[in-house]
Structure 1
Amino acid sequence: MTETVSGLELRTAVGSFPSGVTVVTSHSEGMDIGLTVSAFASLSLEPAMVVVCIENKSKSLPHLAVGREVGISVLASDQLELAVQFARHVENRFAGVEIERRGEIGVPFISGAVAWFLGVVDSWYKGGDHTIVTVSVTKCGRIREADPLIYIKGKLEGD
């Protein structure tokens, strides 16, 4: 007999593991796209790759198609309000946000973030109610020395 774990049980247990908070961005159909993502990790050093996991019902997901240039900004502990802003379901998540553009299509990055990654979406994989998006990193860097914003036990922890 196989037991099943409820979503709440899994969320509670996984919530004990802290993760950093990122904003994943692109420029698609003449507009900037961005969303808060805490499911981010390094995937490979050779070749340089990272992975993000995005909810299947996200309206931003179709704009992160295979072959599209994307950006990932690792938020600093003093950027909690930006994490909340990019998690909201509003028309323009970039309203009032200071950005820097990089790459061939002018991908927006969050100014003052701890680090950034520019890359191209390599693959999509099914992962239950999320899509696992692998990104081949073409450029990356650190912006400033600061503690990252942390997501733990269902809460954002910053300054």
Structure 2
Amino acid sequence: MTDPQPEPPVEVDSDALRSILRHQASTVTVVTAPGASPAGFTATSFTSVSLAPPVVSFCLNLVSSSWPTVARARHVAVHLLARDQQELARTFATSGVDRFAAPTRWRPGPEGVPILDGTLAWLLCRVVDRVVVGDHAIVLAEPELLRHARAGSPLLYHRGGYAALRAEAEPRPAAA
């Protein structure tokens, strides 16, 4: 369907780009990394890069309090949040709080990486590269272990807020 009165084009700046990107629904993830004080943050930039070999990526602002720990980490965990985990997403998106304090439930996992309890899925990944672009770093990582729930629906981020799929249904194959 075509918009009968499209908006005129505008020059791209960070506000205009942010506005456009709000139209893209993204799975909400929490990335955790081990350290003297474990680090973790909410990210909607998680994506698959390659299947052979398996490589995933996520982005992190260079001024984030988590960046120094992630910059040194050999391993990280990426947790895909379930539709009812908005509060966990908010906790890991909030600056200046102990994100791992109660009520957050977690345990040290392989390689000492914090593993959050009750998430839809998690991947333990070995960091293979960090690429600084502008004010962010793109972290490339190879999944080594993963665990996922047998059922459940992901938490999504769309238009500046949390959302979920309308109904839990069996996934259908994508059209060719």
TM-score by structure 1 length?
0.90
Q: Is the 8 A contact 1:66 1:120 kept in 2?
A: no
Indicate the residue corresponding to 2:156 in structure 1.
150
Q: Is the 8 A contact 2:77 2:123 kept in 1?
A: yes
Stretches of structure 1 that go unaligned for 5 or more consecutive residues are: none
Stretches of structure 2 that go unaligned for 5 or more consecutive residues are: 1-9, 166-176
Indicate the residue corresponding to 2:58 in structure 1.
52
Bigger Rg over Cα: 2
Any idea what the Cα deviations from partners look like across 1:37-82, whole Å, max 9, x if unmatched? 1110011111111100011111211211366111011001100000
Alignment of 1:99-138 (within 5 A): 99-105=106-112, 107-138=113-144
Indicate the residue corresponding to 2:37 in structure 1.
31
SS of the aligned residue for 1:31 comes to: coil
SS of the aligned residue for 2:83 comes to: coil
SS of the aligned residue for 2:108 comes to: strand
Residue 158 of structure 1 deviates from its aligned partner by 4.5
Residue 115 of structure 1 deviates from its aligned partner by 0.8
RMSD: 1.7
Percent identity, aligned pairs only, is 35
Aligned length: 155
Higher relative contact order, chain-length normalized (CA < 8 Å, sep 6+): 1
Q: Tell whether 2:49 aligns with 1:43.
A: yes
1:43 partner amino acid: V
Indicate the residue corresponding to 2:96 in structure 1.
90
Give 1 or 2: higher strand fraction: 1
Distance 1:137 1:110, change over 3 A: same
Runs of 4+ aligned structure 1 residues displaced above 4 Å come to none
